[in-house]
Chain A
């Protein structure tokens, strides 16, 4: 059974068609990269998967359950890092306090693992998230997404606005967790080198449509292109002259 299944999903946001008959599957334990230009429908796709949006047509499933009717058990197997930090509540409170509350939500909460994460990710649990720097906050939110040992990790541009070192740390932590526990990861980013470094499968979205979908190495081999960036440009189009 695939961890995630998206079947001919169409979704309009306002007057724009955000997703147009999108279909894909993510097998369990795989790291899946969802890439595309701004407004391609990546975030919409993730929100549909998590049952926060309702598709106009088509269906989405997570661990075999329809997204809109996911049981609490299924939902608690998901870790989510939104692109917009303000979508998270408790922004005004210290991380320790949030973790304490979350420990009441999950049955098999492991404080030892949580403390390990705190130490390895260098996050100060007594600091209010509002007072933390962008990098610290992003780290803290990733920690919140990982703390309950999810089976599916949905990361919406986790490295947005971070420097190289912080980005590498975040990606390192994600990769380590995924490989160690066999976690399925769905990952979006505009930094294609990052995506290339960690993903197994990739889907290039453009104007809500799937333009290229498959295993990254196979796609590169079949198109005779060396990198994901080349692949991306061949599908979405080269940047115009003078734009670089």
Chain B
């Protein structure tokens, strides 16, 4: 079963790992020597390890979401439990999808790696093995979610349960091999994902429609579009590429089956005969080996240049008409909106061949997700708030992440072009109020009224408004040019974590919302009061 290419690849990978260890040793020694020469402690020495901490926590913490949601599901009954199982499945798919970022440079080889290491295959396999503990951790997290799902069945069906855990753990590795194969075949874009999302959405709608647009449907919609947003990449080149991608993508299909297994009733899982599970386990083991083998066949013929992120091709056959006469000064908002349209809406392009149709749902979904992300999240937050229990985390995320469309950071270049700093600030405040606050409060209000109106739902709407006002006004309290990429996300993550751990009662929610609104309004006021000279001075400090 193990081909010569794989054997050679494994041998080269061992050599690459040896050389990699040597390089690390040299760097360690050199860093230690530099450290000895340093006479005083520099700020970066203290701050940089802390700055990396959130990313380390993110990397190792995200896979734990699946078992976390599974655990929460066991502590609830009825629709709430189903909802948590759905979240567990979604996190398995999304975080699984994001494991791609665990090997961010796999497809790029530097000059040294291309030319002077034993082989390109060796380099790639060495990278895979380097990340194996992380992949195993991911697999174990998936297995843990299944272990929780199968809890009461362990005594009755120990062999089947054991096999299911092995399947869940192996799926992470098989899926990863599949992604690597797709990437090296130059077929990074998913075909199945957008259609799987459409199927999931249709299924969810058929379950609840036409009784009422329940929060479950909204949740399913949210999960579905989030799934599409994560997996959908870009258009395909033609039917042959499409067919090839589908063929390669079958390797990544077991992950969808494993995720679906978390949502179906236990009876369905246990109805699968032991023989089938044993065969599936064997197939996955074979899948790992054949996946690695396929990698060894593909990598030597793959383009592995160190490259920048490929740019999305411009919309095709779009004629740009230059104005034939001067129409006077165009408003700043119109100019920004025009830029936004060109960037986010014009790229759907012409459907000049049938294969383009296949890509359409994904493209539309991407545009829908980008534009309605905030309102969808807000609707779910309000719908899920009930019985004095406010879904503060979702409300917080909705208010913080909703897109502003015509926002533009304070820019010297724009000022040189004639847009004063004060005008830029006014535009950004207006963008927040019109494109974030208004839609969120409107959709939240509609949801609160459409569902049974109660104090928790109105507290959620108030929270949406309060946090949005803080988002618009915080630059007024700090500096218009605050560019600290660490502080704001850290505060948001801490706040979101706090709202997960501490349940927010409606009264507390209303109080927090009121305080936030007050702080936000003060910030907006201070932001708008700044003079042109003060704003210009911010660039000099």
Contact = CB atoms under 8 A, between A and B. Distances in A.
B19 A105 contact: yes
A176 to B, nearest CB: 23
A131 interface: no
Contacts of B22: 101, 104
A191 interface: no
A75 B113 CA distance: 11
Interface stretch (A33-41, A46-54, A220-228): A46-54
Contacts of B112: 88-90, 102, 105
Contacts of B27: 93, 97
Interface string A46-80: 01001111100000000000001100100110101
Contact of A52 (B19, B30, B303): B303
A132 B351 CA distance: 50
A89 B300 contact: no
Contacts of B302: 54
Contacts of A93: 27, 30
Nearest to A87: B306
A243 B19 CA distance: 52
A102 B305 contact: no
Interface residues of B, number: 25
Nearest to B112: A89
Interface string B414-439: 00000000000000000000000000
A67 to B, nearest CB: 11
A69 B120 CA distance: 10
Given A72-B119, A93-B30, A101-B22, A53 B111 contact: no
A89 B306 CA distance: 9
Contacts of A87: 110-111, 305-306
Given A47-B305, A68-B301, A94-B30, A52 B118 contact: no
A52 to B, nearest CB: 5
A82 B111 contact: yes
A50 B300 contact: no
Interface residues of A, number: 31
A89 B22 CA distance: 15
A54 B19 contact: no
Contacts of B114: 50-52
B274 interface: no
A102 B116 contact: yes
A78 B113 contact: no
B115 interface: yes
B116 A89 contact: no
A90 B110 CA distance: 9
A56 B22 CA distance: 38
A197 interface: no
B304 interface: yes
B304 A52 contact: yes
B116 A54 contact: no
A75 B27 CA distance: 25
Given A54-B303, A75-B116, A105-B116, A88 B111 contact: yes
B344 interface: no
Nearest to A82: B111
A97 B215 CA distance: 59
Nearest to B302: A54
B23 interface: yes
A44 to B, nearest CB: 10
B113 A89 contact: yes
Contacts of B30: 93-94, 96-97
A14 B310 CA distance: 10
A81 B11 CA distance: 29
A81 to B, nearest CB: 9
Given A68-B301, A89-B110, A50 B26 contact: no
Contacts of B62: none
Interface in A166-202: none
Interface of B: 19, 22-23, 26-27, 30, 109-119, 300-306, 313
Closest 3 CB pairs of A and B: A89-B110, A87-B306, A52-B305
